[in-house]
């Protein structure tokens, strides 16, 4: 299946949508956001109580994966597509003051919001950086853990994102992500629709193809789960969910 999606058009739509997510988190979107969603997905209320509330308001993740990660004290963590920073703030709690977290995001409004919250709350072990998840501006083997939540499905070149994650991880490093996948391949009418792609549906890959891209990058899938608690809101998103088995999964993969 070819995915002749217009990359520039998609990038501008994704940036516009996630600018709205940052600036108007209580607006209408294809997907749910905020604390009620985070708790339903499995985030611990005690952790959320220690994270800036405005970051949680703009949380647009699709699953929980931190339980897949073992000891993270002092770890170097990269959050791909960090948005308004909720997962970065959670990671900074888990790694502790000796750990470092870098949030990488291409959307200026999201990064600006996350950075303002970081400063206001005096969080010292996070840095927010502008960049693309398929071409991250870091050295090989810079990280112990790479995380990402509901973002890789937005990338045009998913295999490159996984190769990049593998490059950035040290040997034995861990990738833990939640993302949208499908049971059936999407038809080109959906896969080439940039609006549905920006809504986290058009870019979703069939789940076995998705996991194969992870393995091909030199990572080994160690754990996975379907996030039954995640659901889309809009009618056309729900229609695609029923017809093609669009769903959220969390998984962990280790660098060989």
CATH topology of domain 7-255: Rossmann fold (3.40.50)
Specify whether the CB–CB gap between 107 and 89 falls below 8 A. no
Q: Of all residues in the chain, what percent carry a pLDDT higher than 90?
A: 71
The end-to-end CA distance of the chain, in Å, is: 29
CB within 8 Å of 65: residues ≥ 6 apart: 147, 149, 176, 177, 178, 250, 251, 252
Query: Residue 13 is encoded by which pair of tokens?
Result: 């739509």
Query: Residue 245 is encoded by which pair of tokens?
Result: 């088995």
3 state DSSP class of 65: coil
Report the C-alpha gap between 35 and 57 in whole angstroms. Answer: 6
Give pLDDT, residue 26.
Answer: 80
Report the C-alpha gap between 70 and 171 in whole angstroms. Answer: 16
Give pLDDT, residue 4.
Answer: 67
* pTM score, whole prediction: 0.93
pLDDT along the chain (256 residues), means of 10: 69 82 78 92 97 94 96 97 97 97 94 96 97 97 98 93 98 97 87 73 90 98 96 79 91 97
Give pLDDT, residue 59.
Answer: 94
Q: Where are the domains of the chain?
A: 7-255
Specify whether the CB–CB gap between 250 and 225 falls below 8 A. yes
């Amino acid at each position: 299946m070819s995915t002749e999606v217009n990359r520039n058009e998609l990038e501008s739509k994704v940036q516009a949508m996630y600018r709205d997510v940052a600036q108007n988190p209580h607006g209408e979107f294809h997907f749910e956001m905020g604390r009620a969603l985070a708790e339903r997905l499995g985030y611990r209320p005690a952790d959320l109580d220690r994270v800036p509330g405005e970051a949680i308001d703009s949380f647009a993740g699709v699953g929980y994966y931190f339980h897949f990660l073992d000891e993270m004290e002092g770890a170097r963590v990269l959050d791909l597509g960090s948005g308004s920073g909720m997962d970065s703030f959670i990671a900074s709690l888990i790694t502790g003051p000796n750990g470092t977290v870098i949030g990488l995001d291409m959307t200026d409004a999201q990064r600006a919001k996350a950075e303002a919250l970081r400063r206001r709350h005096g969080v010292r072990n996070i840095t927010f950086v502008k960049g693309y998840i398929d071409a991250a501006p870091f050295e090989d083997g810079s990280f112990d853990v790479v995380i990402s939540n509901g973002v890789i499905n937005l990338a045009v070149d998913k295999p490159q994102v996984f190769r990049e994650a593998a490059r950035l991880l040290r040997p034995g490093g861990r990738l833990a992500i939640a993302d949208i996948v499908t049971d059936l391949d999407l038809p080109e009418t959906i896969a080439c629709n940039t609006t549905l792609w920006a809504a986290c549906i058009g870019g979703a890959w069939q789940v076995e193809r998705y996991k194969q891209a992870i393995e091909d990058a030199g990572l080994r899938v160690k754990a996975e789960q379907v996030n039954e608690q995640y659901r889309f809101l809009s009618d056309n998103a729900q229609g695609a969910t029923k017809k093609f088995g669009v769903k959220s999964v969390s998984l962990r993969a280790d660098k060989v």
